[in-house]
Amino acid sequence: MRQPSVIARRVAAASVSLVVAAGAAACGPEDNDAKGSGGDSTPHKGGTLTVLNSNPQQDFDPARLYTSGGGNVPSLVFRTLTTRNRENGEAGAKVVPDLATDTGRPNKDATVWTYTLKEGLKYEDGSPITSADIKYGIERSFAPELSGGAPYLRDWLVRAADYQGPYKDKGDTKGLSAIETPDARTIVFHLNKPEGEFPYLATQTQFTPVPKAKDTGTKYEQHPLSSGPYKVVSNENDGERLVLERNTHWSASTDAERKAYPDKIDVRSGLDSSVINQRLSSSQGADAAAVTTDTNLGPAELAKVTGDKELAARVGTGHFGYTDYIAFNPTIKPFDNAQVRQAISYAIDRSSVVNAAGGSALAEPATTFLPNQKSFGYTQYDHFPAGDAGDAAKAKELLKEAGYAKGLTVTLTHSNAKDFETSPEIATAIQDALKKAGITVRLQGLEENDYSDKIHSVKSEPGFFLAHWGADWPSGGPFLAPIFDGRQIVKDGANFNTGLLDDKSVNAEIDAINKLTDLDAAAKRWGALDAKIGERALTVPLFHPVYKRLVGGDVKNVVISDWTGVLDISQVAVK
């Protein structure tokens, strides 16, 4: 799970962790219909699409990007073995083939995955894409110079844990032995344990082909070789402004997912989020053909937009698998007492938390740790029903049983970063709610880096803090395993199992589900596992954010999947 950009942001539920990430599209189709009323809603080729973003598209190198499903802008340039299905809503949470002919052929226990490349695949310079290039692309992502990607490759591939990339072992031409390329179109992955969700992983940009001859190391990000419908024409100031134009060697016949309507895409970033929304709502000049991939409507803007039909029609709503929650460290008193944790769960006032996060349109109250989407295997449960405003009586009762009849004083740690989900606003809402249950909350606001260091270190982890988790792909695996798998507790580095849960039955169930290659069956069992873990009250789920984003007046074919939660640039048309 990639951290958000550290630039302070102003809109309450600003963009979420992943570089492109965020949102899901429950009401996508509706929005499209509403917009069609003005005239021709059929998308046509041509024109320039402007992207107004607040965060620069830094590190535009497939090895360094941390994306869900290949990202939004990156996916225009980088094709991967598999990719996300570019469709609205739930259908969009599926994996589909991209460079490969299918989503992967596993062996019996899902430890060996084989892919075959489509025919006629070419880079922007016309040279052919080979399986060796994909292998090399993955290898270079192991180089410390190009760090930044997700940890799965290192964890899953056999004998990969100590591999340091192709730059270190110049003499050794074999590279990662876990990957075999028997011929130019075939690539075989050997995993050290069964992983039924490998096709999901193959959507990440590390599976982009990079020809060894063209690799320029850390400078590759300036002009990565395109395999997708667009190529980089200019990249100013480390991704501050990125201009993409058509890659003439890309062929729609090999790519069923990317529509590539506009001729040119101009990505401008470093803008203030309120300015982005103001520009999109004014929609003048080039801004009429503009979208944003990282800036949500804030509550203030939402209040304005909902009163304006024309604007409301231009809002795309999406859901991205994401949960904001309170985390407990059960090794610290009084949170070692399950009754205390339960009492807090009962006392929480989700309506004021939701308001602090931007109101019911921008946040949905959460009682489950898993996001409320089918692909995650969402199973409704509410073990400690608090209602809308919290059940202070029940909480007091539990506290009394726990020996805190006279009340309790605890410290809630949160990040000082403005307007992020772990922000002071949410913390004060919780502080206010717990007061009713006789719990006095002291706030400990930490600077972003400090906060991140503390909560992810086993040694310094506070007892009671705000946290959040987003999906690396729309499935229960990457959502539950890093947080609750006892073997993923990292003693001397960044640890995400903040509840320090190491339960044999939970670990065994995770292993069992990972063996499944039937993803629907796996989803159901993830949901059941979530409900089971929830009984331990190691977390208090607070809310799932909802993403609302404006698009310019001329923008057509807005597709928002449940995978990313935001409009897919590869589908957008401006003519």
Partner 1 sequence: MSAPGASGARQFWRRLRTQRAALVAAVVVALLVLVALAAPLLTAIEGQDPTTYHPSLVDSARGGVPIGSFGGVSADHWLGVEPQTGRDLFARLVYGARVSLGVALAATVVQVAIGVVVGVAAALGSRLVDQLLSRFTDVIVAMPLMIMALALLAIVPSSFPRPVLVALVIGLIGWGSIAKIVRAQTLTLKGLDYVAAARLSGWGTWRIARRELLPGIAAPVITYAALLVPVDITVEAALSFLGVGVKPPTPSWGQMLTAADVWYQAAPQYLLLPAGALFVTVLALTVLGDGVRTALDPRAASRLRVGTGRKREAKA
Partner 2 sequence: MTGFLARRVLGAVITLLAISVIVYVVFYVTPGNVAQITCGPRCSPAQVQQVAGQLHLGDPLYARYWDFLQGLVAGQDYSTGTSVQHCSAPCLGLSYQSDQQVTALILAKLPVSLSLVFGAMVLWLILGVGTGVLSAWRRGRLTERLLTGITLAGVATPVFVIGLLLMIVVCGQLQLLPFPQYVAFTDDPEQWAWNLLLPWLSLALIEAAAFARLTRASMLETLAEDHIRTFRAYGVGERSVIGRHALRGALAPVIALNANNFGSAVGGAVLTETLFGLPGIGQELVHAVKVVDLPVVVGMVLVIGFFVVVANAVADLLYAVADRRVVLA
Map residue 542 onto helix, strand or coil.
Answer: strand
- Using the contact rule CB under 8 A, the part of the chain among 83-91, 193-201, 212-220, 523-531 near partner 2 is 212-220
Using CB under 8 A, which of 119, 162, 172, 518 touches partner 2?
Answer: 162
State the binding partner of 393 from partner 2, partner 1, none, CB within 5 to 8 A by kind. none
CA-nearest of 152, 158, 164 to 190 is 158
Residue 460 binding partner 1, by CB under 8 A: no
Using CB under 8 A, which of 101, 128, 145, 243 touches partner 2?
Answer: 145
- Using the contact rule CB under 8 A, the part of the chain among 39-47, 229-237, 439-447, 534-542 near partner 1 is 439-447
Nearer to partner 2, 119 or 492 (CB): 492
Rounded Cα distance, 517 and 299, in Å = 41
CB contact at 8 A, 111 and 192: yes
H-run or E-run covering 106: strand 105-106
Binding residues among 241-270 for partner 2 as defined by CB under 8 A: 268, 270
Residue 58 binding partner 2, by CB under 8 A: yes
**Type of residue numbered 531:** A
Residue 128 binding partner 2, by CB under 8 A: no
In the complex, the smallest distance separating the C-beta of residue 308 from partner 1, rounded to whole angstroms, is 10
In the complex, the smallest distance separating the C-beta of residue 143 from partner 2, rounded to whole angstroms, is 6
**Type of residue numbered 408:** L
Nearer to partner 2, 116 or 205 (CB): 205
Residue 301 binding partner 2, by CB under 8 A: no
In the complex, the smallest distance separating the C-beta of residue 424 from partner 1, rounded to whole angstroms, is 4
Inter-CA distances, 404 with 326, 400, 413, 438, Å:
21, 5, 21, 9
Rounded Cα distance, 434 and 288, in Å = 46
In the complex, the smallest distance separating the C-beta of residue 123 from partner 1, rounded to whole angstroms, is 43
CB contact at 8 A, 460 and 373: no
Nearer to partner 1, 303 or 508 (CB): 303
**Type of residue numbered 276:** I
Residue 294 binding partner 2, by CB under 8 A: no
Residue 351 binding partner 1, by CB under 8 A: yes
Using CB under 8 A, which of 81, 117, 356, 572 touches partner 1?
Answer: 356
The label of the residue with tokens 């009962």 reads: 346
Residue 481 binding partner 1, by CB under 8 A: no
**Type of residue numbered 457:** S
Rounded Cα distance, 89 and 317, in Å = 10
Residue 546 binding partner 1, by CB under 8 A: no
Binding residues among 3-42 for partner 1 as defined by CB under 8 A: 8, 10-12
Rounded Cα distance, 193 and 200, in Å = 16
In the complex, the smallest distance separating the C-beta of residue 270 from partner 2, rounded to whole angstroms, is 5
Nearer to partner 1, 318 or 534 (CB): 318
For CA atoms 133, 135, 141, 145, give the dihedral sign.
negative
Label the pairing between strands 82-84 and 95-97: antiparallel
- Using the contact rule CB under 8 A, the part of the chain among 164-172, 175-183, 302-310, 389-397 near partner 2 is 164-172
- Using the contact rule CB under 8 A, the part of the chain among 2-10, 248-256, 517-525, 551-559 near partner 2 is 2-10
CB contact at 8 A, 542 and 422: no
Using CB under 8 A, which of 364, 452, 500, 515 touches partner 2?
Answer: 452
Using CB under 8 A, which of 6, 252, 393, 508 touches partner 2?
Answer: 6
**DSSP codes joined into one string, 477-530:** HHHHHHHH-GGG--SSS----TT----HHHHHHHHHHHH---HHHHHHHHHHHH
- CA triple 22-72-203, angle to 5 deg: 90
Q: How many CA atoms lie within 13 A of 140 on its CB side?
A: 28
Q: Which pair of tokens denotes residue 81?
A: 């073995």
The single-letter DSSP state of residue 61 is -
State the binding partner of 512 from partner 2, partner 1, none, CB within 5 to 8 A by kind. none
Contacts with partner 1, 290-309, as mask; x by CB under 8 A: --------xxxxxxx-xx--
Rounded Cα distance, 532 and 242, in Å = 46
Q: Which pair of tokens denotes residue 193?
A: 């344990």
Q: Which residues bind partner 2 (CB under 8 A)?
A: 1-3, 6-8, 58-59, 66, 140, 143-151, 154, 161-162, 164-165, 167, 215-219, 236-238, 240, 268, 270-272, 274-275, 278-279, 281-282, 284-285, 287, 447-450, 452-453, 456, 482, 490, 492-494, 496
Q: Which residues bind partner 1 (CB under 8 A)?
A: 8, 10-12, 274, 298-304, 306-307, 349, 351-352, 354-356, 358-362, 389, 416-418, 424-425, 427-429, 431-433, 443-447, 449-450
